[in-house]
Amino acid sequence: MRPRRLRTTPAVRRLVAQTRLHPADLILPVFVRDGIEEPQPITSMPGVLQHTPDSLVAAAREAVDLGVGGIMVFGVPRDEDKDGVGTCGTDPDGVLNAALRRLRDELGDRTVLMSDLCLDEFTDHGHCGVLDDHGRVDNDATLERYAEMAVVQAEAGAHVVGPSGMMDGQVRVVRQALDAAGHQDVAVLAYTAKYASAAYGPFREAVASTLQGDRATYQQDPANRTESLRELALDLEEGADLVMVKPALPYLDVLSDVAALADVPVAAYQVSGEYAMIEAAAAHGWLDRDRMVLETLTSIRRAGAQLVLTYYAAHAARLLGGGS
Ligand code: PBG
């Protein structure tokens, strides 16, 4: 047997390729910031911007025209609008909810509009939930905030809400709250396996996070693998429509495990630090950015992700020849 026979020409390699990348499988995460006149660069994520509402609409339109499958929106409030319980996240006129409404108005059902459902962008302490008297993240008090936030986001026009705080029971309360408010058609993208990762570093700049300390009491320990299967079982039982593994590249084993067992679509999130690592090496001329982008996205798909959240979504769509 000569395996090289199937590698001889580009056409034969294309014919036998087991994994294909398509813009429709990519989801673009975007940031919208309150109180800025012009889009702001994010130093640790070259090429990614904190948008004004207007530039956000333009970027979303461009991505949709390139064939990207969905948009995931993160809000960055003014510092003075942050408080202990993240009030801005449930204010219908808060930066994230206003942006969702505007995007849904402009784009309708042409794309899948997704919202990050978490408090960390909106709290003055930077944690993903509310704190108890001892300064610990209070799981069940946080669930009440998530339930309220889900309904406000659905009302603003999100097709999909993405609870990302890793509170126990978050999918169940979000599903129940959406149903009770008449939003049966709004889907839940569960952050199922979310590890306490150094790779979120640049994101913290992107959302102007005030976090002191870490999230190790609610995000998963990188040392653990089977724990993700327990998280998966819970999320499916609680009604998750889609499940996600995050970060992506350092956790391909977890992704592969989850994909083998999940009977719903599986997503993976190529996070800010994964983006920054490629950008930093490419800026030095140490590797070929475009090849690295396509190779990492292909690997994440090969490991079992049907969908990939990536800051490269529009760029990759362009490389793949997308566009109408
Ligand atoms: C929490 C949230 C985070 C990211 C997405 N949702 C930050 C965190 O958990 O600290 C990180 C995404 C990235 O690094 O690209 N709202």
Q: With contact defined as beta carbons under 8 Å apart, do 69 and 24 qualify? A: yes
Q: Which domains are present in the chain?
A: 20-319 (3.20.20.70)
Token readout for 40 is 């702001």
Query: How many other C-beta atoms are found inside a 10 Å radius of the C-beta of residue 238?
Result: 18
Please write the tens of the pLDDT for every residue from 122-149: 999 999 999 999 999 999 999 999 999 9
Mean pLDDT of 209-237: 95
In this prediction, residue 324 carries a pLDDT of: 47
In this prediction, residue 208 carries a pLDDT of: 87
In this prediction, residue 67 carries a pLDDT of: 97
Residue nearest atom 6 of ligand 1, based on CA coordinates: 164
* pLDDT band per the 50, 70, 90 thresholds, residue 291: very high
Is 246 designated active site? yes
Mean pLDDT of 192-214: 92
In this prediction, residue 322 carries a pLDDT of: 63
Ligand 1 site-directed mutation target among 28, 117, 120, 170, most atoms within 8 Å of CB: 120
Model confidence pTM above 0.95: yes
Mean pLDDT of 142-170: 97
| Distance separating alpha carbons of residues 278 and 299, to the nearest angstrom | 15
The response to whether residue 31 sits with its C-beta less than 6 Å from ligand 1 reads no
Beta pairing class for 242-246 and 266-270: parallel
The response to whether residue 251 sits with its C-beta less than 6 Å from ligand 1 reads no
Ligand 1 site-directed mutation target among 142, 200, 245, most atoms within 8 Å of CB: 200
* pLDDT band per the 50, 70, 90 thresholds, residue 279: very high
In this prediction, residue 210 carries a pLDDT of: 83
The response to whether residue 271 sits with its C-beta less than 6 Å from ligand 1 reads yes
Which residue among the candidates 172, 246, 301, 315 is catalytic per the annotation? 246
Mean pLDDT of 214-227: 95
* pLDDT band per the 50, 70, 90 thresholds, residue 213: confident
Beta pairing class for 49-51 and 40-41: antiparallel
Please write the tens of the pLDDT for every residue from 256-269: 999 999 999 999 99
Is 82 designated active site? no
Query: How many other C-beta atoms are found inside a 10 Å radius of the C-beta of residue 163?
Result: 27
In this prediction, residue 323 carries a pLDDT of: 54
Residue 203 CA, closest ligand 1 atom number = 14
In this prediction, residue 152 carries a pLDDT of: 98
End-to-end CA distance of the chain: 43
Task: Give the H/E segment covering residue 12.
Answer: helix 10-16
Residue 120 CA, closest ligand 1 atom number = 16
The response to whether residue 200 sits with its C-beta less than 6 Å from ligand 1 reads yes
Token readout for 200 is 């979120």
| Distance separating alpha carbons of residues 204 and 44, to the nearest angstrom | 10
Predicted confidence (pLDDT) at residue 159 exceeds the cutoff of 90 = yes
